[in-house]
Amino acid sequence: MKDQLIIFDTTLRDGEQSPGASMTREEKLRIARQLERMRVNVIEAGFSAASNGDFEAVKSIAESIKESTVCSLARANENDIRRAGESIRPAAMGRIHTFIATSPIHMEKKLRMSPDQVVEQAVKAIGWAREFTDDVEFSAEDAGRSEIDFLCRIFEAVIKAGAKTINVPDTVGYNVPEQYANTIRTLIERVPGSDKVVWSVHCHNDLGLAVSNSLAAVMAGARQVECTINGLGERAGNASLEEIVMAVRTRADVFPVESRVDATQIVPASKLVSQITGYPVQPNKAIVGANAFAHESGIHQDGVLKHRETYEIMRAEDVGWNANKLVLGKHSGRNAFRSRLDALGINMASEEHLNHAFARFKELADKKHEIFDEDLQALVSDESVTPEMEHYRLLASRFHSETGETPQAQITLSVGGTETRASSDGSGPVDAAFKAIETVAKSGTELLLYSVNAITTGTDAQGEVTVRLARDGKVVNGQGADTDIIVASAKAYLNALNKLHSKFEKLNPQV
C-alpha cells in the first residue's frame, strides 16, 4: 500500500500575504468550505496573533470545518501560541504550527539570538502548544539556508518535546531539487525519532522551483506538502496545490504516495480563490489555466480526436473543467437557487440576504442566457458587503464614448449615506469614471493595477475587474463584476476605496 501524502493548504495564511489579497472573514469561510469539500487534509486558516480580525476568522473556520484539520500559525512565543490555541479550540481537529528561524543570517540579523537560545525557545514553544493540542507542527524558518548539523539538533529537541510534524521550509525559494531532496533524506536518516513524525515541506517559487522541490522532497521521504491554490503567496508564490496533487496522481508509477484530495473540486477552488483575491489565473497555467486542455496545433487536434491520450495526460473533467455550469435561468425558482448555493458551500447570513441575492440573480438572468457558478460567486461576493463596510456606493452612471470625441463619465454616488453627483472627462470611459469618483473621494491613492477578465465565456459574460490601490504603504484590491465593463470598473474602484476607508480591523494588515 502507498503512503498517504498529507496536503496542507496555506492559501488562507501564506496566500493571503500576496499584496492586496487580504480577505474578509466571510471570504475566508467560503474558501475554507471549498477546501473541505476538496478533502484537503489540513487548512492553515490564518495567523491568529496578527490581529483580532484574523483571530476571529480562524475561530469561525474552526467552528465550521469538520472534515479537515484547522491550523493556526504562531511564532515561537507564548502570546502567539496562546492566541493560536484559543482560536482553534472549537475545531473538531486542531493544530498549532509554530516556527522560529534557524539560518545563520536570520538568527544573527533578525532574531539576534544564539543557536542555543533558538533551540531553547523552540522547545518552550512546543510545550506551550501542547497545552492546547497534541497536534503540533514545528517549522525551521529558512531551513533551506540553514546548517544541516543545527537542523538535526533542533529537530531532535522538538521531537523529544512532542512535535508531531517537522516542516523543512525553503522560505526564500533558494534550493534546487537535488539539493533539497538530499537535505530531506539526510535529516530523516540522522535525526533521532525521525520515524515518529511526519516530515513536511513548504517551498517558495522565487526560482520557479517550488513544485519541483516539493516533489523531489516527496521522493526523498517527505509525507506532507504545504501548498496553495493557484500557487498564491508572497513574492513569487508557493508550490501550487493543483500541480502537486495531479503530478502525484498522474505519475502514480513514480510516486510512492497518494492523496485523498477530490480532484474534481480543483477548478472550482481555483476560480473561487481567483475571484475573491483578485489574482487572475494565467491562461497557460498548468491544470487550472483556460488553455490547459486546449489544442491549437492541427497535428495535436488530429491526435486528440483519434485518441485523447496522444496529447492529454489528464482528463479535463477529472480536475473539474466543464462541471461549473449553473443550469438556472430567469424561470428558476427560489428552491433551485438555494440548493445551488448549498452545493457551492455558500451560506447566506439571513433570509433577507437570500431574498436580495435571488432578486439580483433574476436581474442577471434577464441579461445573460446562461448562468454559471462563477456568476453566482461574484453575485454573492457583492452581497457580502454590509452597509457598514460600504462608505462609497454606486447609485447610477452614464458614460459617453464616441470616435473623435473626449470620453465622459457622469456618476451618482452615495457617500456616507449622502447622494453626490460628479462628472469628468478622461482618456477613455474607464479613466473618466475613475476621475469622476476621485473628484468626490479625493483619496490620494496610487493606482497599481487595473485588470479585466471575463468571468465566463460568451459576449454576454460578466466582466470582472480588479483594481489595486496603495496609500501610505497599505495595498488593497477591489473587485467589481457586471455585464457592463465600465460599471464593473467603477464598482471595483469603489470597492478598493471602501477597504481603505473601512474602520474595521483588517484580518491581515498589509502595510
Q: What is the pLDDT of residues 267-324, one digit of tens each?
A: 999 989 998 888 888 889 999 988 887 744 454 445 545 545 665 678 888 888 765 4
Asked if 2 contacts 257 with a C-beta cutoff of 8 angstroms, the reply is: yes
pLDDT of 403 above 80: yes
Q: What pLDDT is stored for residue 300 in this prediction?
A: 44
| Percentage of the chain exceeding pLDDT 90 | 66
State the average pLDDT for the chain.
89
Report which of residues 228 and 483 the model is more confident about: 228
Cell numbers representing residue 134 in the block: 497534541
Poorest-pLDDT segment among 70-74, 370-374, 492-496: 370-374
- The dihedral region occupied by 208, where left means phi > 0, alpha psi between -120 and 50, and beta the remainder, is left
pLDDT value for 45: 97
Q: Mean of the pLDDT values across residues 5-31?
A: 90
User: Residue 256's CB: how many other CB atoms inside 10 A?
Assistant: 13
- pTM to 2 decimals? 0.84
Give the end-to-end CA distance of the chain in Å, rounded to a whole number: 48
Q: Quick: pLDDT tens for 212-249.
A: 999 999 999 999 999 999 999 989 999 999 999 999 99
Residue 507 has pLDDT above 80, yes or no: no
What string of DSSP letters covers 430-494? HHHHHHHHHHHH----EEEEEEEEESSSSTTPPEEEEEEEEETTEEEEEEEEESSHHHHHHHHHH
Q: Name the band, by pLDDT with cuts 50, 70 and 90, for residue 77.
A: very high
H, E, C per residue of 417-445: CEEEEEEEECCCHHHHHHHHHHHHHCCCC
